[in-house]
Structure 1
Amino acid sequence: MSAQLPACQLLERYYGNAAQLWPIAPLSDPWLIEHSTAMVSGDVALRGQWEARDKVAVSPFDAPFVQQAGQVVLFWPKAHQLGIWWLEWLCRMLPENTPVDVVGEHQGGIKRVPKILSELGMRCDKLDNARRCSLFATRTVAIDTPDSGWQHFEALGMTLVSHPGVFGHGKVDEGTQLLLQAVETALDARPRKALKVLDMGCGDGIISAWLAARGHQVTAVDVSAFAVDACRRTLAANQLDGQVLESNVYTALEGQHFDLIVSNPPFHQERDVSYGPSARLIEEAPSHLTDKGQLMLVANTFLPYPGLLERTFGSFETLADNRRFRVYHAQLEAQPQESRKHGRQASSKRR
């Protein structure tokens, strides 16, 4: 088995097939999984790929931290500040002078790494360069400063807590604002009652906090451990309640049903466009909605969600359109209980 992704191909070229690596924030590549002793990632879906091969896979927020065997290799993320956070995290978690290699694509910012390492007081040696990727070697240093990754800011009358790598870090996304305006209008047009709401892809928790502040029972999920922790911190900062879970779309929500699912779904995996999670969000929504339950989501106008909504719900409406983003609304028609049961079983088989 050979590596498929450029950064992993560079690792294969440098380390060979005897490689025993401990990747940090890795990419999904079968060769890398095969040659990993363990891994650390904020992405619960990626961790599942390693766990399926009986490899240790943990979140950076898991405690207690246990160092694993293998050469530490940090995959440089596209979010510059997140890369710095990972370097500082490694320096806090690992003994001083532990060898760490850093790999990444040139278009992903790996060329910045020598300067960043210098600013952190870490050495830097270039090991290899191929496939428009570079591999650098460094060693951990002692860091006694507190974790500075968390950022607090005010928006929509709330305190939001964010972290590098979390969607919309440090600001309120234009699409989210349009979605909340549409949700407010739609809910104001209906009899006021507390709804059981799912915030799918919660990010820093702005949608969850906004809904919880209006008395709704909120469950928030995200594939990212950084987002999950940010959402929990946002709810706590505003003295609001809500359940927040790591979940690869609906995987952590077996048997749960909601009156309303709200989402500003991502369509990027690092630099690649990926519609898979958003497609699952739409296609599996009926099996997680109550009778007459609703789905509201915002998306860039060019994304192919209308067809998915039409096939899944039979019809949908556009609640808002500012030429860059559209807010879509679909509602599940009431069905006989037996029909609902069969529909959920079919959805479960698709998963």
Structure 2
Amino acid sequence: MSHYTAPSQIAERQLPYFSGKKVLIAGEIEDGFPLLLAKHCLSVAVFTTHYGYYRQLQQSSAVNCYFGAELTENLDADLLVIYWPKAKLEAQYLLAMLLAKLPSPCEVIVIGENRSGVKSIEKMFKPYGSIKKYDSARRCSFYWGECRETVADFALTDWFKSYSVQYQQHELTIRSLPGVFSHGEFDLGSQLLLDTLPYLQGKVLDFGCGAGVIGCVMAMLNPKIELEMCDINALAICSSQATLAANGLSGRVFASDIYSDTATNYDVIVSNPPFHSGLETSYQVTETLLHSAPNYLTRSGQLFLVANSFLKYPPIIEQAFGHCETLSKTSKFSIYHASK
């Protein structure tokens, strides 16, 4: 984690400013900048919704790292640093949640790539105080502000969006937090995947569960399965748990950095995997998922995957399983299947 992203590079230009501060960092941070900052500050804490990043930072004693959909610990901090997330509503969520935990007045720094819409912070911050652009470089902006207003108590339940999904005479209620995939709609790829799945039995993993649409439909259509759902994002995990509860369904939902926390005896792995990491396109997670899948399946275990048709996943599945079957294909999506 020694190479810094562009937002961290612009923050590094202001390093002397951080001296003597008690800093809380949150948002779309992906590098080791908090470890550098810890050498200049009184204290550094990191709140992240990304389990992979949490696992990396946990290896260091220089910073305290917290993972979850909500920061529940009481922290002593006087400077909040937010790395602008890819979803504007998630930035709003982080501000409301974290400023409710911190004393007022509290200094706030917001850093982000210009193409991510970070300029929105100027209007978004008005209920809290004033904020202005302090520096810009590498197509990023660095904002400094101060929260002087009394911040309302934060209630996680206020941030869920609910919507209904119709599927094969069933109606499901989906509960979704800001920034979670499938936020407010039934993804067409997920629908095609569900249309293609056979009757399922045994232990089933919904990998990259998002708001829980695929897992909940599978549980409703196959009530005897032992359902597990995992995601790297704490907001997704919380959303899937809420979606299961809203529909009276049961399943185990947990955080996993690809296979870091999964079992090794699944009868079926089903996935509509992401191919974005922040603003960037990234295929690494899915490629690892596919390449290692046989190690996490039972002797006759099966893999079902939906992906954009232009993505070159069949050769990876063939290498892992010895074969790859295309069960369904549209102009946009393909459904791939392999079994041990």
Structure-2 residue corresponding to 1:347: none
User: Is residue 2:273 matched to residue 1:238?
Assistant: no
Q: Which amino acid aligns with 2:242?
A: R
Q: Identity of paired residues, percent?
A: 33
1:143 Cα deviation from its structure 2 partner: 2.9
Match of residue 89, structure 2, among 72, 81, 85: 81
Q: Say yes or no: does 1:131 pair with 2:138.
A: yes
The match for 1:5 is: 5
Please say if 1:177 is aligned against 2:179.
no
Question: Do the aligned residues in 2 keep the contact of 1:3 with 1:32 (CA within 8 Å)?
Answer: no
Q: Which amino acid aligns with 1:99?
A: E
CA–CA separation in structure 1 for the residues paired with 2:13 and 2:134: 11
Counterpart of 1:217 (choices 217, 226, 246) is: 226
Q: Which amino acid aligns with 1:155?
A: V
- Is 1:154 the counterpart of 2:168? The answer is no
Q: Separation in 2 of the partners of 1:139 and 1:45?
A: 31
Residue 115 (structure 1) shift: 1.3
Q: 2:237 is matched with which residue: 228, 237, 242?
A: 228
Looking at structure 2, the residues matched to 331 and 197 of structure 1 have their Cα atoms a distance apart, in angstroms, of: 14
User: Aligned pair 1:97/2:99, yes or no?
Assistant: no
1:46 aligns with 2:53: yes
5+ long unaligned stretches in structure 1: 188-192, 333-351
Matching residue of 1:349 = none
Which amino acid in 2 is paired with 1:253? T
User: Which residue in 1 is equivalent to 2:41?
Assistant: none
Q: Which residue of the partner structure matches residue 27 of structure 1?
A: 29
Post-superposition CA distance 1:51-73 (Å, at most 9, x none): 11223211244664131557321
**One-letter code of the match for 1:72?**
L
Deviates more, 1:26-35 or 1:308-317: 26-35
- Matches of 1:291 and 1:22 in 2, distance apart? 47
Instruction: Say if 2:265 and 2:298, in contact at 8 Å, map to a contact too.
Output: yes
One-letter identity of the residue aligned with 2:6: P
AA aligned to 1:52 is: Q
Distance 2:2 2:64 in 1: 22
Task: Indicate the structure with greater helix content.
Answer: 1
Work out whether residues 128 and 151 of structure 2, in 8 Å CA contact, stay in contact via their aligned partners in 1.
no
AA paired with 1:151? K
How many residues were matched structurally?
A: 323
Q: 2:71, 2:97 within 8 Å by CA — same for their partners in 1?
A: no
Contact 1:220 1:245 in 2 (8 A): yes
Choose from 284, 287, 310 the match for 1:279.
Answer: 287
* Alpha-carbon distance in 2 for matches of 1:77, 1:329: 34
Whichever structure has more strand as a proportion of its residues is: 2
Which deviations, in whole Å up to 9, do the C-alpha atoms of 1:202-254 show, x marking residues without a partner?
00011111111121210000000000000000000001110000111111124
Matches within 5 A, 1:181-330: 181-183=195-197, 186-187=198-199, 194-213=201-220, 214-215=222-223, 216-254=225-263, 256-330=264-338
Contact 1:8–1:32 at 8 Å: present in 2 too? Answer: no
Matched residue SS, 2:173: strand
Q: Are the aligned partners of 2:58 and 2:65 in contact in 1 as well (CA < 8 Å)?
A: yes
SS in 1 for 2:121: helix
Tell me if 1:165 matches 2:179: yes
Superposition RMSD in Å: 2.0
Which deviates more, 132-141 or 207-216? 132-141
Shift in alpha-carbon separation, 1:321–1:34, aligned structure 2, 3 A: same
Residue pair 2:107, 2:144 contacting (<8 A) in 1 also: yes
* Structure 1 runs (4+) greater than 6 angstroms displaced: none
Paired residue type of 2:146: R
Q: Which has the larger displacement, 36-45 or 136-145?
A: 136-145
Structure 2 Cα separation of the partners of residues 121 and 100 of structure 1? 10
